[in-house]
Structure 1
Amino acid sequence: MSDHQATGDGQSLLLNLVDNSGVTRAKLLPASRIAAVSERGVGLSTAFAYMCVDDHLAPIPGGVAVGDMRLVPAADARRMLAAGLDWAPVDQLDQETLDPVPTCARSAAKRLVAAAKDAGYVYRMAFEFEFTLYKENADGSLELAHTGPGYGVGPFLRLEPMIRDLEQSLIIAGIEVEQIHPEYGNGQIEVSIAPADPVRAADNAVLCRVIVARTALAHGYRASFAPITSVEGIGNGAHLHASAFKDGRNVFSGGDRECGMTDDGLAMVSRLAQLLPDTIGLYAPSVLSNERLRPGMWSGAWVCWGHENREAGVRFVQGTGGHGQSSANCEVKVIDPAANPYLVVAAVVAITQDALAHPYDILPEIHVDPAVMTDDERARNKVGRLPGSLADALDLLEKNQTLRAALGAELLDSFVAVHRHEDEEHGSKDLEARIDLLRWKY
C-alpha cells in the first residue's frame, strides 16, 4: 500500500515536529484546512529551536519575541494513522523564501542523504525501540504491565491484544514490522522496524512512537520511551542499524577486510566508534541517558566496535545465512529515545561520509567484553569509555568540526544550548526526580 493509497479525502492531518529536546510536538489540521496549508504550511515561532524538555526556553540570541517560520507537511511522507486521521512530518521553512531554516533537523538529514547519493552512496537505516508499559491506577500509582520473564511467552500472552493491535496499526501506516516482543526489563517491549531510506527511517521512528502511545492508551496502558523509567529499571534504547551501498553493493559485505567488510565499510564502522565520545551528546542527550550507559547492560558503554559484541558502542552485524550481502550492517547501540531521530541519521551519514574522505586510523575489532580486558589491553586496543557527564559530552559535541560543518553551526549550537539548560536545571537532581521529570516526555 503506497502512502497516497493509505490516505484519503476527509482525513484530518496530525503534524509532528521533533525538536532539539527530542520531544515530539503536534498540531492537528482539520480536513478542510489541509489544501490551504499544503504549500505554505502553518506558523510556529523560531524560538522552538530552543524549547527544552521542561518547556522553558534556553537563552536565544536576539531574544524570544521575534521570528516565525512555516511548518509544511511532507506530502510524500503522509500516512494513514487511523480512520479519519492521517499523519505527516513537517519541514521547517523560512516564512518568506520557503527555504529550510538552519535549525530544521529533517531538512539537514535530507541534504546530507542527497549529498551522499551524489557521491555514489545509498544508505538504508532502521530503528529498533524499547519502551516501558504501565497501568496508571486510580490513585496515580503506576503498575508495570508485566514482570517478565524477559522475552517470555507469559508477558506476550498477557499483552497479546495490545501487541496485535500495534502490529496492525503499524502495517496500516505503511511501516514494515520486523518483530515485536517482550524485552528483558519489567514492563518492557521492543519494536523493530524494517530498513528504509534514512529520512524515511526517521519518519518511521516518529510515527511508530505515536502509534505505540496511541495503541497503549486504547488498551488502558501508558507507554514511556524515557531512557530510564524507574530507579531499578534497565533503560530503553533506540538502536540504529545502518548499511550503505555503492554501485548497488553493500560496503559491509563482500570485501576482504575484517568481518568481510570492504575498505569503505571498515572505515565507516571504525569512525562511528571512534567518534562516540563526540557524538554521545547527540545520541543520548538527556539528564537520564548516562544512567543507562553502564557496562554490563548491553547498552554499548564502551568506545569500540566488534562483531556481534553487545558491549561495544558500535556492533557489527555480519548478516544471516542467505541474506548476508544485503543485511550486513552496523548497529549504533548507545542511542536512546531522547535523541532526535533526524539528527541521529544525519550524524551517521555525515560521519561515515567524512570517514571516506580522510585517512583516519582504523580501530581494531574487539572480540570480547571490554570489561574483562586489563587496562593495558584496553589502551593497546584504543578502547575507551564514554564521557562521564552530559556536560562533558556536550563540550565534545560542540567542538566537533565534522558535525559542525555538516549540520551547520546554528543547528548544532541550538541543540547544545537546549541540553545545557536541561543539564544545569535538572542534572543534579536525584535519579527519581529526573525520572519523574522525563517519564512522560518521551
Structure 2
Amino acid sequence: MKGNLDRLSQWLKDNKITEVECLISDLSGIARGKISPTNKFLNERGMRLPESVLLQTVTGDYVEDEVYYDLLDPADIDMHCHPDEGAVFLVPWALEPTAQVIHDTHDKQGRPVELSPRNILKKVLRLYTERGWKPIIAPEMEFYLIQRSDDPDYPLKPPVGRSGRQETGRQSYSIEATNEFDPLFEDMYNWSEAQGLDLDTLIHEEGTAQMEINFRHGDPLHLADQIFVFKRTLREAALKHNVSATFMAKPMTGEPGSAMHLHQSVVDLQTGQNIFSNPDGSMSDLFLHHIGGLQKYIPETLPLFAPNVNSFRRFLPDTSAPVNVEWGEENRTVGLRVPDSDPQNRRVENRLPGADANPYLALAASLLCGFVGMIEAVEPSQPVQGRGYERRNLALPLTLEAALERMEQSAMLKEYLGSRFTKGFVAVKRVEHENFKQVISSWEREFLLLSA
C-alpha cells in the first residue's frame, strides 16, 4: 500500500493536483464518495464511508429495515476505502487541477466488502486467474443527446445541432448528423485522451441523436473503471454545450433503446492464445460451453444487465433489441452474436446489457455466466440462421419483477457472488420499483382520467 501511495503522491504532484475526488460505485453505478484537498487525501491514505451507501437507491432511499439490518451492522459503521493507484484519472472539466481516484472497499478486518460492485468484478476475475485464464473485453456504449429540460413530465427531444436545426428521422452511420455535434465530441475526445480512456470509434446509431462509442479491447476491470469515468465525462461535455447526454436504456418513445454490448474472449495466461479456438482454427469446446453458460445463466442474472424498470422497455416488440439468448454467427437479431473474425480474435458479443447497467456488475455477470458454462461443460443450442427476434424458446423475463424473482432464486449467483450480494441487490431494486409504482404516468392521465 505504501509503495502504491508513493507513486500516486508523485503523480498528484507532477500534475499539480489540488483536489481529489475519492469515488466508489454503488449498486446502481452512481459515483459516491468525498472531495478532499490533496494534502488531506495523502495524509489520510484513503477515506471512510458508511456501509449503507451500498444499499442506497437511485432515489436516495434505503432498503427495508429487515433487510438492512440483516446485511449491515445495526450501528451503521464505516467501511474503509483504499485508493487504487491504477484507477486514477484527471478531471479535465474542473476549474482547479483535480483528480478522481477510484477506491476499493474493505471492512475493519481488511476483507473486501461483498456488496461492492468493483469487488464483485474482482471476484469473478480471480475465478479466471485460478484456471490460468484471462478474459478480454471490448465494450460498446450507446447513448442519446437530448435537449436540456427541468420538467420530467415532458417527453425528451433531440437537441439543436450546429446547423440550428433539430435532427429528424433515422440517421444510422451518418457522418453529417454526427458532425452536427462536433464541438461537443471534440471536448469528449480531448478530455478522454487526457484521462487515458481507450476510446476507439464514434458512430451515429439508429435513433434520433443516438450515438455509440466503442472502447478498445483490454482488461475487464480497467475497462469497467473507464466506462464509469466516461459516463461522467460525456455528461460534463454535454452540459458544457448546453445539451444533456443520457444512458437511459429507453429514453424516448418510438426510438431504439441504448445498449452496452460486450465483446468477450479468453486467453491462456501462459501461451497468450485464445482458448475459444482450436489449433486448426475451428471453434473450441470451451467456446461453445462459454456460449452455453451465457444461455443458461443470463436469465438468472438479467437484472445485472437490465437493472431498472426502464431497462425492460428495450425488450418490447419492434425495438431492435433481441429478447432471447439465442446465438448465431454474424447475426444481430440474437442476444449472443459471434462476429466474423480470425481464430485468435474469436469472441462472443453479449448484446443484452443496457447502457444503464452498472459496468462492474454487467461485466462480472457476463463473464461469470460464460465461466460457469465452461466449468460445467454446458452445451449451447443450435446457432440461429436468419432472423431471430421472434425466437421464444430461449426467451427472457420481460419485467423487472419477474427478473428479480428469478435472480433471487439463483443458486449459481449465491454460490459464486454470495448470498449477501444477491439479497442486497434484489432488495435495492425492489425498493426502486416500489417507488416507481407510486408515480402516476401521463398515459394513465390521458386515457383513464375521463373514461375510467
Structures share fold, TM-score greater than 0.5: yes
Q: CA deviation at 1:424?
A: 2.5
Q: In structure 2, do the counterparts of structure 1 residues 97 and 308 end up closer, same or farther at CA, with 3 Å as the change threshold? A: same
TM-score normalized with structure 2 length: 0.85
Q: Which of 78, 100, 122 is equivalent to 1:110?
A: 122
1:371: Cα distance to partner? 4.2
Aligned with residue 234 of structure 2, among 204, 212, 226: 212
How many equivalent residue pairs? 416
Looking at CA atoms only, which structure, 1 or 2, has the larger radius of gyration?
2
Of 286, 306, 319, 1:284 maps to 306
The answer on whether the counterparts of 2:144 and 2:209 sit within 8 Å (CA) in structure 1 is yes
Determine the structure 1 residue equivalent to 2:276.
Answer: 252
Does structure 1 conserve the Cα–Cα contact (< 8 Å) formed by 2:137 and 2:218? yes
Counterpart check, 1:223 vs 2:245: yes
Q: Please state if 1:32 is matched with 2:44.
A: no
2:362 alignment partner AA: V
- Find the partner of 1:363 among 378, 381, 395: 381
**Equivalent residue number for residue 430 of structure 2:** 420
Distance in 2 (CA, whole Å) between partners of 1:9 and 1:114 is 36
SS at match of 1:385: coil
**1:144 aligned partner:** 158
Partner residue of 1:52 out of 57, 60, 78 = 57
1:138 deviates by: 8.9
Structure 2 contact 337–348 (Cα < 8 Å) conserved: yes
Q: Sequence identity of aligned pairs in percent? A: 25
Note the C-alpha offset of 1:56: 0.8
Give the aligned partner of residue 87 of structure 1. 100
Name the CA shift for 1:5/1:49 in 2 (closer, same or farther; >3 Å).
Answer: closer
Stretch deviating more after TM superposition (9-18 or 227-236)? 9-18
Output the CA distance in 1 between the equivalents of 2:377 and 2:409.
20
Which amino acid letter does the alignment assign opposite residue 114 of structure 1?
R
Name the aligned partner's letter for residue 47 of structure 1.
Answer: S
CA contact (8 A) 1:308 1:317 kept: yes
Q: What is the CA distance between 1:298 and its match in structure 2? A: 3.3
Of 10, 14, 22, the residue aligned with 2:21 is 14
TM-score w.r.t. structure 1 length? Answer: 0.86
Shift of 1:51: 0.8
Matching residue of 2:364: 346
One-letter amino acid of the counterpart of residue 360, structure 2? Y
Letter in 2 for 1:402: M
Q: 1:114 to 1:234 in 2, by over 3 A?
A: same
Contact 2:294/2:325, CA 8 A, preserved across alignment? no
The alpha carbon displacement at 1:341 in A equals: 1.4
- 1:153 is displaced (CA, Å) by 2.1
How far apart are residue 391 of structure 1 and its match? 1.1
Give the match's secondary structure for 2:292: helix
1:440 is matched with none
Counterparts of 2:22 and 2:398, CA distance in 1: 37
Please provide the CA RMSD for this pair: 2.7
Question: 1:139, CA displacement in angstroms?
Answer: 8.7
Distance 2:288 2:11 in 1: 40
2: CA distance, partners of 1:294 / 1:306: 21
Aligned to 1:164: 186
Q: 1:427: Cα distance to partner? A: 4.7
Alignment partner, residue 134 of structure 2 = 122
Q: Give SS of 1:91's match.
A: strand
Structure 1 residues 322-351: Cα deviation after superposition (integer angstroms, max 9, x where no partner): xx2343221111101332211122222322
Gaps of 5+ in 1: 435-442
Say if 2:124 and 2:368, in contact at 8 Å, map to a contact too: yes
Of the candidates 134, 139, 144, which is equivalent to residue 146 of structure 2? Answer: 134
d(CA) in 2 for partners of 1:150, 1:432? 30
Q: 340, 345, 348: which is aligned to 1:318?
A: 340
